[in-house]
Amino acid sequence: MIQTDYLIIGSGIAGLTFAIKIAEKYPNKKITIVTKSDEGESNTKYAQGGIAVVQNHLEDNFKKHIEDTLICGDGLCDKEIVEMVVTEGPKRLQELIDWGAQFDTNSEGNFDLSREGGHSKNRVVHHKDQTGYEIQKTILAQAHNKRNIEFFDFYFALDLIIENNHCLGAFVLNEKTNEIITFLSDFTLLATGGIGQLYGHTTNPIIATGDGIAIANRGNASIKDMEFIQFHPTALYDKNLTTTFLISEAVRGFGAYLRTKNGNRFMLDYDERGDLASRDIVSQSIENELKKSGETCVYLDCTHLDTKAFIKHFPMIYKRCKDIGISIEKEWIPVIPAQHYLCGGISVDKNGQTSIENLFACGECSRTGLHGANRLASNSLLEALVFSNTIFNFIVNTTPKKSVQSSTILKRENNNFITISAKFILKIKSELQVLMQKNVGIVRNNDDLYRAKIQLEIWQSEVSSLENKYQINKDIYELKNMITVGILIIEQSIVRNENRGGFIKI
């Protein structure tokens, strides 16, 4: 059993920024971070575009950023939350800079701001096309400078410990020994990222299996807006990959055009903003074009752009294309929409509190009200920064509510020594990804949703029996979590009968 003051599950921007601040505030208190991979692996690491933050100049202002966010969210954003996040942005960005993060500047020494779909102005602060990696590297270094932060790499959170609607910590699996360890804490923060691996095509890394949402759901926390799944319009098309390389939206902001195989710039037929329409509109338009043509992908045309400037801004994208034989100077880049971001999740209030006492959620696993029916590009890193700070401010002024701890719930064994075949788990995972891609994708209908739900419930029953027969390991629980999240997405898709933002049901 491990006792800690603050338990953080996840090591991306949301969890680490909170950890750094609470460690500085309370140098004698213990902060514990558990992460199911190595500490540097997170959704944050793969963010290319940047952070949408209004700068102090004449062309942009908070009102415009707020309006862009509300328009993109299609009437379902919480305006109070939008205003809070947008107006806090500059302060939170400055903290990152103070910690050592470096962002691109122009010849005048000002931020080299890019523009992405749905934004009325250039306001995206970035580090080339590797902004997430720069941030992850910076905040990890800061966290390691704090003596009272302890990392547990390759430790997988199985379930929360909840009594009388109070979170007391979590049961955590040591992935190397398969021992289940009880972590007790005054406060617990879920910062576990997204759900991308539920889909056959996703820009998310393999760790994105919806774990935080699933364990919160098992603890009866409120989960909302799961039907609002954002598909990024331009993922590099490769039929052999499930995790798809992202071609940043900033490439279209830089001047690239979307084209069909025959060269038609089709986005002008769907939206007056053309290639810079919001992600939901671009993804739905591509889906429609592919259904009409029967083709497997559309194309991103960069051949008219200044190659030297392109390489300067997007070195990683240029290299990836070159590595697979695409010369962007002469050839179009094949792209398809891929699952990219979940707008819903664990419901939290303006302080990041879930419906369970002493349990908080931050980042993509949370539903704050910022995104509504569709997230505005580059608002996700911003949300994580602002809410981790909001949670910090709330907790330092809060005395944790203690509950009577029942000794019977504080220990959990993993006594079965029979291990299950990894191939069997992988088979169901692969079938789940195909099913979600086909039946719960960009455009849905109730017949497909009900069929998918029946199949997921069959798998849920099978996995439940596996838990009793075999030794618990990460693979079984990841599959269990993916099924749980899949059912949540389907159920909330079925009950929504109004198309909004990224949600379309016919």
Report, as residue numbers or ranges, the catalytic residues.
279
How far, in Å, CA of 364 to CA of 228, rounded? 12
With beta carbons less than 8 A apart as the criterion, state whether 188 and 170 touch.
yes
Rg (CA), the chain: 22
Contact between 36 and 207 (Cβ < 8 Å) = yes
C-alpha–C-alpha distance, residues 468 and 470, integer Å: 6
Beta strand 31-35 with 2-9: parallel, antiparallel or unpaired?
A: parallel
The alpha-helical segments, DSSP class H, found in 145-274 are 211-218, 250-253
Element (H, E) at 338: strand 333-342
Count other Cβ atoms within 10 Å, centred on residue 39: 18
Q: Return the SS3 of 33.
A: strand
Sheet containing strand 345-347, edge to edge, reads 223-224, 345-347, 366-367
What does the alpha-carbon distance between residue 212 and residue 216 come to, in Å, rounded to a whole number? 6
Q: Which of 227, 506, 245, 202 is nearest to 374 (CA)?
A: 227
- The tokens describing 441, both together, are 């994708």
**Contact in structure between 423 and 50 (CB atoms under 8 Å):** no
Q: Residue 180's beta-bridge partner residues? A: 173
Q: Which two tokens stand for residue 65?
A: 């950023």
Question: Residue 374 half-sphere exposure, CB side, CA atoms within 13 Å?
Answer: 28
